[in-house]
Amino acid sequence: MSRFLRPSLGAGFGYVPGEQPADGTAWVKLNTNESPLPPSPRVAAAVSAAASNLNRYPNPDAEPLRSALADHHRVEPSQVVVGNGADALINDCLRAFCEPGATVLLTEPTYSLLPVAAQLHGARTGQVELDGDRRVPAEFATMDAPLRFLVNPNTPTGTWWEPEQLAGDLEHTPGVLVIDEAYCDFAPSSCIPLLADRPSWVVLRTFSKSYALAGLRVGYAVGNAALIADLSAVGESYPVDRCAVAGALAALEDIDHHRRLVEQVVAERARISTALADRGWVVTPSHANFVCAVPPTGTAAEATAQLRDRRVLVRCFATPDRGSVRITVGNVAENDALIAALG
């Protein structure tokens, strides 16, 4: 890094994504929670058609996708804002609701981009450690902070909290609560139906996981119209390009393809969870498109390296003790290769 980098960011600042080998190389890639299946066949045709007008700016509100999402979730279009992936909307939440120097409340563990984004925006982070009783700790709801993020299902653990439980546990939370539901389609239900009675809640969703559109970068937020107007005010101009809007709309409309994708992931998630447990791994029950587990011996870093030697990429979450390994649910052949590599 150069000598001009803001000193407040510190050496080594930045989000570290999972390893991305070149397309077409012989890896079993189970490290970045991408879809194991391709998107709806309707997407390519829609993207191709949209490419004929690339000399024109896209609709600034990502229409007609925004209205289609509003219909999908039974809310008004004014309650939806579309962005360049859910990550862009995380940044918008920080810009809109958290002054520099204020505290952003996170859980531990959580999506590893969140503390990086908070620091980039000059915010302080407070962290509440998740315990093993399947409830969000009380202090997460009561600590004073203008903004807090809860990832549900959580990453990297896959833990999911029922919306009705969250409604009770977080009923009087001060400030804005952002619930990141990137993996929610693989779980039983969403918090979006609760938003009508909770004007300080925002739910983030993405097309990257259950719609297999990680390469198009489309995310959206749903919430009270006033909060959504705040996010729109601080967001980028023309945040989503024409091809992404068209592709996401085509994916949203192909309900059968989306259902098949989710069903296969859920079935394969159960299969690899069983395979890991049979081999002595300690597996956290997951409601996402990945499984988090502790290897039977050694550390997570050692297990990750051993799998990499067998051309299987997984994500290591190291801790001072043993750590854990997060394994994306792949397609049937990829999961077969994983199980064989586990030995």
Tell me the per-residue pLDDT of 90-124, one tens digit each, with 9 for 90 and over. Answer: 999 999 999 999 999 999 999 999 999 999 999 99
Side-chain-facing half-sphere of 183: CA atoms under 13 Å:
27
DSSP string of 221-241, one letter each residue? EEE-HHHHHHHHHHS-SS-S-
* pLDDT above 80 (res 336): yes
Angle 332-342/255-278 helices, nearest 10 degrees? 10
DSSP secondary-structure letter at 110? -
Give the Cα separation of 24 and 313 in Å (integer).
Answer: 15
> Sign of the CA dihedral 257, 74, 80, 111?
negative
Q: Which CATH code of 3.40.50.2300, 3.40.30.10, 3.30.70.580, 3.40.640.10 fits the domain covering 42-253?
A: 3.40.640.10
The band of 263, judged by pLDDT with boundaries at 50, 70 and 90, is very high
* Type and span of the H or E element at 334: helix 332-342
Q: What is the CA radius of gyration of the chain?
A: 20
What are the tens digits of pLDDT across the range 318-330? 888 889 999 999 9
Query: Residue 2: pLDDT band by 50, 70, 90 thresholds?
Result: confident
| Cα–chain center distance at 73 | 18
The answer, as to whether pTM is greater than 0.75, is yes
List, for residues 299-316, the tens digit of each pLDDT value: 999 999 999 999 999 999
Are residues 190 and 203 in contact, defined by beta-carbon separation less than 8 angstroms?
yes
3-state secondary structure of 107: strand
What 320-324 contacts at long range (C-beta under 8 Å, 24+ apart), as own/partner pairs, is 322/294, 322/295, 322/298, 323/294, 323/299, 324/156, 324/157, 324/284, 324/292, 324/293, 324/294, 324/300
Superfamily of domain 17-38+256-342: Aspartate Aminotransferase, domain 1 (3.90.1150.10)
Find the Cα–Cα–Cα–Cα dihedral 57, 247, 154, 36, rounded to 10°. -140
More confident residue, 231 or 172: 231
What is the per-residue pLDDT across 66-85, written as a single tens digit (0 to 9) for each?
999 999 999 999 999 999 99
Residue (of 179, 212, 137, 186) closest to 285 by Cα position: 186
Within 13 Å and on the Cβ side, how many CA atoms surround 72?
18
Domain boundaries, the chain: 17-38+256-342, 42-253
At 77 the pLDDT is 98
Nearest to 124 by CA among 147, 153, 140: 147
DSSP-derived letter for residue 195 is G
Digit-coded pLDDT (tens) for 128-167: 999 866 689 999 999 999 999 999 999 999 999 999 999 9
Compute φ and ψ for 217, nearest 5 degrees: 60, 75
- 176 and 202 in contact (C-beta within 8 Å)? yes
182: nearest Cα among 68, 328, 64: 328
d(CA 234, CA 92): 6
